[in-house]
């Protein structure tokens, strides 16, 4: 029996889920995004991005980098990852086919859940909006 009653059938992800096809999993995938050298910056984050090739285009994919030197407690690092995944999950349909790596670049003075989620959402929306 499925834990999610709204799932159509076993083996099919829920429409708003965060399946493996939407994640960056391998080191070379992260490396290719960093090598492309395009990024959007906010107060605490850098959002590195690379357009996907036509062959591999399957929607936006997300990778996360939250260094221990900025957030010592694993609870805080995991909270930040959960917030980022949730914002990406909600905005995924609006994003073009890019590989994205969200990286914490500055140690936050206070870990405010709402402020961090809003900052991540703004970065993702910048990427979703048409650029001149």
Q: What pLDDT digit, counting tens, does each position of 12-62 carry?
A: 555 567 788 899 999 999 999 999 999 999 999 999 999 987 656 678 999
pTM for the whole thing?
0.81
The CATH class given to the 20-125 domain equals alpha beta
Per-residue pLDDT band at 96 (split at 50, 70, 90): confident
Whole-angstrom Cα distance, residue 44 to residue 66? Answer: 11
3-state SS class at 17: coil
Q: In what order do the strands lie in the sheet with 45-51?
A: 39-41, 45-51, 98-104, 61-65
Half-sphere exposure of residue 1, counting CA atoms within 13 Å on the CB side?
2
Produce one character per residue of 15-40: b if its CB has 16 or more CB atoms within 10 Å, e if not: eeeeeeebebeeeeebeebeeeeebb
Residue 75 burial (CB < 10 Å; 0-12/13-18/19+)? exposed
Break the chain into its structural domains and give their ranges: 20-125
Per-residue pLDDT band at 94 (split at 50, 70, 90): confident
């Amino acid at each position: 029996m499925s834990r999610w009653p709204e799932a159509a059938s076993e083996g099919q992800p829920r429409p708003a889920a965060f399946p493996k096809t939407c994640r960056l999993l391998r080191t070379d995938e992260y490396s290719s995004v960093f090598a492309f050298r395009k990024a959007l910056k906010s107060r605490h984050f850098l959002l590195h991005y690379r357009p996907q090739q036509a062959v591999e285009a399957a929607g936006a994919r997300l990778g996360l980098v939250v260094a221990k030197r900025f957030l010592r407690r694993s609870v805080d690092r995991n909270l930040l990852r959960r917030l980022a995944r949730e914002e990406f999950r909600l905005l995924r349909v609006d994003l073009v086919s890019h590989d994205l790596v969200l990286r914490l670049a500055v140690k936050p003075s206070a870990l405010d859940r709402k402020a961090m989620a809003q900052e991540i959402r703004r970065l993702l929306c910048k990427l979703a909006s048409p650029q001149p």
